[in-house]
Chain A
Amino acid sequence: MDILWLCVFAVLLVGYFALEGPDIGAGMLLLFLGNTPRDRDEIVAAMAPFVLAGEVWLVAVAGVLFGAFPAAEGEVLFGLYPLVISLLVSWIVRDAGLWFRRRADGSAWREGWTAAVCAGSWGLALSWGMALVAMARGLDEPVIVLPGLAGGLVLAALLAFHGWTFLSWRLPGRMTGARRSGWALLASGAAAAAPAAVLLAAFAPWLLERTASAGALGVLSVIILPFAPVMVGAQVWTWRTFGPRRAADRVPSFF
């Protein structure tokens, strides 16, 4: 049972980087690839339908950490305290940019929130990279250090590449000038998720020492696993519905 929940945790964490990674990456590139307001609207419209379905993977990661590995939850989040704050604030700023940028008129309003999307996405990527390095170094060490910043930049590069591939797949020949297949997107997703996956593999024994009781895991399994097909199905449906070969985007989109 504890192996099953370790697998669920791994799927959710990898799923987060592979499926929310494109939104973070595209957000990072928003001000660099989008030269005109119209370009920026087009990039946002390309990523918008995936954001709600993507970010929820991290909410689920935290939920499983709490429910299935309660002794690890406090240790990890408290150990990474300043990075968790910057991650959350970046996430909220990015989301606020998306939800608010088209809710009022005026270019200052729109460009301000567009910049918030870009800054928040960078904050997310750097916070994640620094958090992964901090985990690897051990939670007793200080978390804001030079190697952490280097790790942040590496992960930012991987996520930006994933975002670039996503835009080349979603808007072929448009913003990036390139065309990429779904397979290329899968590969860049694997690259974006690789650091977290490697770290998780190293941490697997540590996590398994911190599982909830067999009774609690049993309750989680009985209640959650019947929903798993619906959860996966809804994700597949999202990616099929808003994939590149469907109807053209409405630009600007709701976001």
Chain B
Amino acid sequence: MDVLDLARTQFAVTGSLHFLFVVLTLGLAPLIAIMHTRYAVTGRPDHERATRFWGQLYVINYALGIFTGLVMEFQFGLNWSGLSHYAGDVFGAPLAIETLGAFFLESTFLGLWIFGWHRLPTWLHVGCIWVVALTAYASALWIMMANSFLQNPAGAVPRDGHLVLTDPGALLANPALTMALPHVLGAGLWAGGFVLMGASAYQLFRRTSEREFFTGSLRTGVVVALVGSLITVGFGYAQFGAISAFQPGKFDDGGAAGLGLGFMILIGQPLQLVILFVLTPLVYWLPRWRWVQPVLMAITPLPFAAAILGWLARENGRQPWMINGRLTVADAMSPGLTPAMVTGSFVAFTGVLLLLAIVDYVLIARTVRRGPAAVTLGEPAPADPHERAHALSH
């Protein structure tokens, strides 16, 4: 592989890993916020346990979203400085807004939420998780806006060898964004719903002592996945019209874009029909029919696979352009990037991130396996000194 291939592969691997975790963050965040709100309204212990159990799963998943996101943010300057040089005036704005107006708040309020259990007044604590959910969605908006600019550079004109922002409204109204954003948010809900469904199916199949808990969450998961799949598929097909206007022939050449799209639809379309015509009508019985639960577990990873394939289709379909029609990927690469540099960063980033991603999934699986009784997020401080000493000795 030459330098360009290595830099592209590095971006593809870190970007795919990022979205693998972010798609679940997007799906679970509103669900956790709703669970916490129900607990605050009713004060019922089962709602508290649901918030803490699924909240811990969400928080563990979130860690890899951060790690991969850091590499994504800095990678632009490391390997693709031609992009900021040529189009930083336009492309940089949504990224800067995302870091300041969305992620800054998301991270601060997530810290307050994680460590605010038994410290913050109930409704302020609930408010924190709602800010986290809203800013996660805001992040998706700004990042998708930046990506849509690469697909279809609206709102900017070339001047003195650079792109200059002339119409900020056109960034927001970009047809590459308007249908793709709900598509991505729907995929998040689909993935989040499937994780609820799959984890609950696992516990019920193992004849859990928490029958009621996981019966409820399995049904919730199916309903959320239904909503998510309808949004995803609807807005997925709705994109074709817009794409044909600014990237005609995007999927025609039989390359990675066409394959990604084909396999994504091959997974997503039948799966949506199964949710709509099988899982949803049977949602009452699924927690009782033990024989069906291994199937539910087995299909849990499918929306994640489809999401990655969708990104590969969207991004590969832009080749050879970094900014469609304006800047090629080759010209966007940092001038002077050597094979040693890009190999070093490739090995360091993908090595560390792949390893941590595996550890993270093992820890998520462990959280699911041990169930709500073993959750440490929001655990009350042991009141009894003896118990406290016992807890400390571990």
Contact = CB atoms under 8 A, between A and B. Distances in A.
B99 A213 contact: no
6 contacts: A53-B111, A55-B107, A73-B88, A85-B78, A104-B366, A213-B89
B359 interface: yes
Nearest to A38: B392
Contacts of A176: none
Contacts of B114: 49, 52, 254
Interface in B329-369: 334, 336-337, 341, 344-345, 348-349, 352-353, 356, 359-360, 363, 366-367
Q: How many A residues touch the partner, as a band?
A: 35 or more
Given A60-B99, A88-B70, A231-B105, A78 B116 contact: no
Contact of A96 (B67, B104, B116, B394): B67
Contacts of B80: 74
Nearest to A93: B352
Interface residues of B, number: 73
Contacts of B99: 59-60, 62-64
Given A66-B84, A66-B96, A216-B93, A59 B341 contact: no
Interface string A141-183: 0000000000000000000000000000000000000000000
Contacts of A235: 108
Contacts of B348: 85, 89
Contacts of A252: 391-392
Interface stretch (A24-32, A130-138, A198-206, A241-249): A241-249
Interface of A: 38, 41, 48-53, 55-56, 59-60, 62-68, 70-71, 73-78, 81-82, 84-85, 88-89, 91-93, 95-96, 99-100, 102-105, 212-213, 215-216, 219-220, 223-224, 227, 230-231, 234-235, 237-238, 241-242, 246-248, 250-254
Nearest to A45: B115
A197 B110 CA distance: 29
B182 to A, nearest CB: 21
Contacts of B276: none
The 9 A-B residue pairs with the shortest CB-CB distance, nearest first, are A70-B88, A67-B96, A74-B81, A63-B99, A77-B77, A52-B111, A49-B115, A99-B63, A67-B92
A212 B107 contact: no
A25 to B, nearest CB: 18
A100 B78 contact: no
Given A71-B85, A74-B85, A78-B334, A238 B108 contact: yes
Nearest to A228: B100
B29 interface: no
Given A70-B85, A85-B348, A215-B164, A104 B111 contact: no
Contacts of A63: 73, 95-100, 103
Nearest to A248: B381
B2 interface: no
B112 to A, nearest CB: 6
Given A73-B76, A88-B71, A66 B95 contact: yes
A220 B356 contact: no
Q: Which of A67, A75, A216 has the most CB of B within 10 A?
A: A67
Contacts of B392: 38, 41, 251-252
B267 interface: no
Contact of B108 (A73, A104, A231): A231
A174 B341 CA distance: 45
A29 to B, nearest CB: 21
A254 B63 contact: no
Contacts of A105: 394
Nearest to A224: B100
A51 B118 CA distance: 19
Nearest to B394: A105
